[in-house]
Amino acid sequence: MSLSIRPCTNRDQWTAFLDAQAPHTFLQSWEWKTVSEHLGHEVIPLGVFEDTTLVGTALTIFMKARRGSFLLVPHGPIYATCNMQHATGEIWTLLAKEWRRLAKERDAVCVRVCSLLPNNDEGKKHFKELGFRGAPTHQHPELAWMLDLMPSEDDLLKNVRKTTRQSIRKAEEASMTVEFFSDTTGLDDFWNVYQTTVARQQFTPFSKNYLQTECETFAQNHNLLIAIGRIQNQVVSAAIVTRAHGNAFYHHGASDQSHFPKIPAAHLLQWRVIQELKRRGCNLYNFWGVVPETATDHPWHGLSVFKRGFGGFEEAYFHAQDLVTSPRYWLTWIIETIRRKRRRL
């Protein structure tokens, strides 16, 4: 086998490969490449080739930052199952060499790889041998909650936590309705309730431009679902769900509890989303990030309990790894470490 690393500029080839692998992420998709470019980032769609056949992807994004620019590999690389024997060998060695070259060209302080490799001792040894070190913070979820959508709807509901089923019924009794949009029609309603959520929970929000760009991009290929829940024509809950490679991803959520504080609207909204995704033929619903059940003092604990209530399983990924390419990296390390501790993350 003769492997090489070079940019892949063929969208169909890239997408067909990822569709065949069906990774539990949309962050290696061509749509995410487009979103990142529209947001002003340089994106290098690195492909791992066996002669002319694409056998791996490593979407690599150049992130400019005052504290130190870096290359980001979100939930990658992805490589064909038949090439697993190369995971700690030639594929990764070639990629690390290319990432170093790209980082030097762009005066980047490091290459940050947020892979989907399982969190185990083998992964730790693998990254250490390649010269990586643990990043001071995470960039993307490293513990995700998944729901297999293949069982029947009745079986899915049986696996929902009892208290979650009760919440679903309570919202149904309040005559809550859920409307779905495959374009950006529901984005303004989402944005309005999103602002309410930000004010209540005090987190750093995504910008309207960011959400608009993401929704427009995924909508172009029918890979967007915006869910808007209403009671008495008042928007009480909303979600933005993206689809990629046969799977769906709960990427943004919002709720307004000011009008009907006793109605668990978000529970019914998510159940309706699950039903809709199953009707649309999705194989898996990724609720995105959660924290360990024991992390009861974490800011995301309540949200994690909510997600786990729908049944499913968790996937733990290896912590983000940095390949240091400049002495200026250590200033970035100090700043990110301080921010992480302040946010209790």
pLDDT (tens, 9 = 90+) of the chain, 345 residues, equals: 689 999 999 999 999 999 999 999 999 999 999 999 999 999 999 999 999 999 999 999 999 988 899 999 999 999 986 544 545 578 999 999 999 999 999 999 999 999 999 888 877 888 999 999 999 988 899 999 999 999 999 999 999 999 999 999 999 999 999 999 999 999 999 999 999 999 888 788 899 999 999 999 999 999 999 999 999 999 999 999 999 999 999 999 999 989 999 999 999 999 999 999 999 999 999 999 999 999 999 989 999 999 999 999 999 999 999 999 999 999 888 988 887 777 766
The bridge status of strand 78-79 relative to strand 143-148 is: unpaired
Q: How far apart (Å, rounded) are the C-alpha atoms in residues 345 and 341?
A: 6
Residue 321 CA, chain-centre distance (Å), reads 17
Q: Which residues, listed in sequence order, are joined to residue 28 by a DSSP beta bridge?
A: none
Q: Which residues, listed in sequence order, are joined to residue 156 by a DSSP beta bridge?
A: none
Q: How far apart (Å, rounded) are the C-alpha atoms in residues 331 and 342?
A: 17
pLDDT in the model for residue 339: 79
pLDDT in the model for residue 89: 78
pLDDT in the model for residue 67: 84
CA distances from residue 152 to 4, 161, 278, 289 in whole angstroms, order as listed? 44, 16, 9, 25
pLDDT in the model for residue 125: 83
| 42 phi-psi bin (left φ>0, alpha ψ -120 to 50, beta other) | beta
pLDDT in the model for residue 120: 84
Tell me the torsion sign for CA atoms 122, 331, 110, 65: positive
To which H or E segment does residue 235 belong?
strand 234-244
Q: Specify burial of residue 17 (Cβ count, 10 A radius: 0-12, 13-18, 19+).
A: buried
Tell me the torsion sign for CA atoms 289, 40, 323, 84: positive
pLDDT in the model for residue 257: 87
Q: How far apart (Å, rounded) are the C-alpha atoms in residues 157 and 40?
A: 42
Q: Specify burial of residue 195 (Cβ count, 10 A radius: 0-12, 13-18, 19+).
A: middle
pLDDT in the model for residue 190: 98
- Kindly report the number of other CB atoms within 10 A of residue 138's CB atom: 16
pLDDT in the model for residue 203: 82
Contact 45, 57 (CB under 8 A): yes
Q: Specify burial of residue 279 (Cβ count, 10 A radius: 0-12, 13-18, 19+).
A: exposed
